[in-house]
Chains A and B, each alone.
Chain A
Amino acid sequence: MSVETISGEEYSVTYNDNTQSIKFDGSMRLRTSEEYAPINDLLLKAHDATPAESLLTLDFSSLKFLNSSGINIVSRFVIAARKQAHLQLKVIGNQDIYWQQKSLTNLQRLWTAVQIDIQ
């Protein structure tokens, strides 16, 4: 089992290969897609390490803020996963965080197979 974390001043992203999940925490509002590259790489790494047909979970329930550049990165990942059709994807959101109840379902519009669980 291994756990890999990328963190900045106000956020952290943790990939746990045992639970096959990536957890986002804090407030993530980086300037450009270049600054988001390490997070993009971690998402792709998790994707490739997940066994075929198995479930990978993206847990946003502790992510208070994500800017549009971040939404773009997550959306690109969902589109890439859809195209590869290698795994199943689950997205966990938090009902109390308004952007999540409004915008996380957009990911399902990008790939209908994405399971959305707003808790």
Chain B
Amino acid sequence: MAQSTSTSQIFGHWEAVTAVPTTTMSLDAAQLSAHWRRNSLSSDYWAAYAALHIPETVPAGWLRRDDVSYVLSYLLNELFENCAKFSAGPELAVHFQAWLLDERMVFQLTNHIKPQGERPFITLIEELLNGDPDELYFQKLEANAEQDLGGSGLGYLTLIKDYGIQFGFRFQRASGESTAVTVQAHVNLREPS
């Protein structure tokens, strides 16, 4: 599943998007964490912004503008919250990029963690990508009911299972003390079957 080069490791559905991003934004993870509502403000803003890409009326089988806005708000909020919660080490920059394409949208968020945080995250990613999302989702909820596990990937599982979003992950060692983690989310603009 993992592809790796000397500088990066890639998991899941990863695409080297060559087009110029439609939008970009840089933030600071410490600021997202200090004022938690900045996560929802940022996600709701970009969700509404991106949803205008959808025509006012769409053919059957395509997501309506309002639906896209809801999906993106949930998606981006989960991703911004993760950046706020899990960023660590000397580098706290968060980079947001979005590509609004004809039949899909691609969103990319980069944050930074300490190199020792790579292994547990990769273990979780491999579990999410290799397992059956439906089965894993309910297993994790039952396990969480016994004991709160926190950070168990429930957000990703909801997005994969209920919205058909595909994820890719890239780890790049930026320095001895910092690893850049980029999450790529592929949103299909057709209704998930």
- Give min CB distance, B175 to chain A, whole Å: 29
A29 touches B163 (CB 8 A): no
Q: How many residues of A contact B (CB 8 A)?
A: 26
**Does any Cβ of B come within 8 Å of A110's Cβ?**
yes
Cβ of B158 < 8 Å from any Cβ of A?
Answer: yes
Interface stretch of the complex, out of A17-25, A52-60, A73-81, A85-93: A73-81
Contact of B40 among A65, A76, A102 (CB under 8 A): A65
In-complex Cβ contact of A33 among B74, B141, B150, B158 (8 A)? B150
Smallest beta-carbon distance B193→chain A, Å: 13
A68 and chain B: residue at smallest CB distance: B155
Residues in B with CB closer than 8 Å to A46 are none
The 8 A CB mask of B50-79 against A (1 = contact, 0 = none) is 000000000000000011001101100110
> CB < 8 Å: which of B40, B73, B150 contacts A32?
B150
- Interface pair A29/B81, CB less than 8 Å apart: yes
Q: Is B37 a contact of A65 with CB atoms below 8 Å?
A: no
**Are the C-beta atoms of A10 and B78 separated by less than 8 Å?**
no
Contact B155 A109 (CB under 8 A): no
How many chain B residues touch the partner (CB < 8 A)? 27
- Is the Cβ of B162 less than 8 Å from the Cβ of A102? yes
A81-119, CB < 8 A from B: 96-99, 102-103, 106, 109-110
Add 20 more A-B contacts to A72-B141, A102-B162 (CB < 8 A).
A9-B37, A29-B40, A31-B36, A33-B148, A65-B70, A65-B77, A67-B155, A71-B154, A72-B154, A75-B141, A79-B145, A98-B66, A99-B70, A99-B74, A99-B162, A103-B162, A106-B138, A109-B138, A110-B138, A110-B141
- B residues with CB within 8 A of A: 36-37, 39-40, 66-67, 70-71, 73-74, 77-78, 81, 85, 137-138, 141-142, 144-145, 148, 150, 154-155, 158, 162-163
A-B contact pairs, 18 of them (CB 8 A): A10-B40, A29-B39, A30-B36, A33-B148, A65-B73, A67-B78, A68-B154, A68-B158, A71-B158, A72-B141, A76-B144, A76-B145, A79-B141, A98-B66, A98-B67, A99-B70, A99-B162, A109-B138
